[in-house]
Amino acid sequence: MSNEDFFTEPWRSTSAWNLFTRLALGSLCIFVLSTLAGIVYGKICGCQRPPCYPHKGWLGLDLMRERQTASDQGRSLAHYDHWFAKLGHTWEEKLAGQRLINTIDMANIRVTFNADMDTFGRAGAFHKNDFLGPGIFSSDGPRWKFSRDMIKPLFKKAEVRSIAVFKRHVDRFIAQIPRDGNTIDVQPLLKKMNFDSAAEFIFGKSTDSLLPGSPYSNGDFIEAFNYANAGSLKRRKAGRLAFRYWLDREYPRTVAEVHAFVDQQVQLVLNEPPGADQGVKARYVLLDELAHQVKDPITLRYECLNLFAGGRDGVAVLVANALFCLARNPSLWQELRETALTICEGAELDFDSKTLKLFRNVVYETIRSTGPSATVTRTAFKDTILPKGGGPDGESPLFVEKGDQVSVYGWGCNHIKSVWGEDCYDFTPDRWNHMKIPPEFVPFGGGRRICPAYQQVYLQSAYVLIRLTQEFESIENRDPVLEYVELDRNLIESRNGVKIGLTAAGP
């Protein structure tokens, strides 16, 4: 038998080759039939294709490069606005063969946020060995339900309204602000304050980065955390093109550093003798409560990281953005101060009360006008339909194929003129005096996957603003750049920081 016969004849004559051929043909038939079934399904329901970004090439790298350039120049929000204005409230793009549907249409948002777990989820948004790993924000199905059932009780209103521990971190932050009106950039200080308080809430131990001489006061660990989290976000946004970041050596280093910190806190809790903390802690420490239900250290690592990544900047960025806006509207500071001086120290705060109405207006308007993070993405687990977005007028149903992604663009939702008025690009807290929260206001997502800590973010942000307006009688902008130039990180923040002068009240 020749060498050629050796390699060819057995495969041609054996049942293995026949089986292989049948499986290949069967798989191809299933693919073709499922595709045709989806097309027929969509046609029966009257679906039409939405407008599409005019790609040059099939990979979709042109739009990725556009977005990167816009982000580098601090105009990523304007770039999104441009294409929504040009293509409509729902349009599609392609990235390495992946179809992504962008929408700010409330009918589509409701379906996406309220769909059952078998229809939409987070699959495809996170990669194996990701910085955040499997947790409440990154999992689907039973794994997500397991996380939610553990964590949701920790964020009941009765618990988040307690600000006794948070007060200590706010005190440290205020102590570092010059009282004579000298210029200071409060954004990095707010981030340290938020990082410390989030660490204490989750791990029971503050990083104390606001204290001189602490191991974390130089900010290196915070920067490592930010780099790892930003790297994770970039890879998720890149989808199938995430391999372009393989040569980034700093990312795995910072991931390892943060994981080592979290693992150390987890081991301290797991190594505690049974009953050691009973009767001692009068408040929830998230890690303690989780450790009562699960003992696997890797599971605890990722659950804590999911919440730490989501909460370690939320209050800081919101308050920094509010101060950015208030410094350019100093008369509002006086209104807030009049209300703040009527609030007694140690009073129990209710974010929904009439007393905090002015602060609530500022918090809502800050979120609406400067954020939130750009998108919330969900992946279709099966063929489904969005009610709007198809056809030239965007009023026809839209077929979503299994594997497609739907991206809800929060900034766009907050700047629809038919909802918010012609002044939707202005910072106008008074607009909330005569309007209820519209369904388009979705800064924390919606449905069963809404952020569990949103009440905490609202209340703590209001508390910081109350303390500042009680302590300081005036605020002044010290940044020569008046407009808001965004920096697109985990959240939208001011690229130039928040440079202000605060003058303390007289004796």
Q: How confident is the model over 289-335, as pLDDT tens digits?
A: 889 888 999 999 999 998 888 788 899 999 999 999 999 999 999 99
Q: Pairing state of beta strands 405-409 and 375-380?
A: antiparallel
| Residues 6+ positions from 398 with CB-CB distance below 8 Å | 47, 48, 49, 50, 90, 101, 108, 385, 386, 387, 388, 389, 390
Contact by Cβ (8 Å): 277, 104? no
Give the mean model confidence (pLDDT) for residues 426-433: 96
Which residue bears the tokens 């202005």? 426
pLDDT in tens, 162-171: 687 899 999 9
Contact by Cβ (8 Å): 58, 407? no
Which residue bears the tokens 């987890």? 266
Q: Rounded CA gap, 173 and 189, in Å?
A: 6
Between residues 25 and 437, the one the model is more confident about: 437
Please tell me the predicted confidence (pLDDT) of residue 481: 95
Between residues 504 and 286, the one the model is more confident about: 504
Nearest to 287 by CA among 274, 300, 306, 273: 300
Instruction: Write down the pTM of the prediction.
Output: 0.86
Whether 34 has a pLDDT exceeding 50, the answer reads no
Whether 218 has a pLDDT exceeding 60, the answer reads yes
pLDDT in tens, 64-82: 899 989 989 999 999 999 9
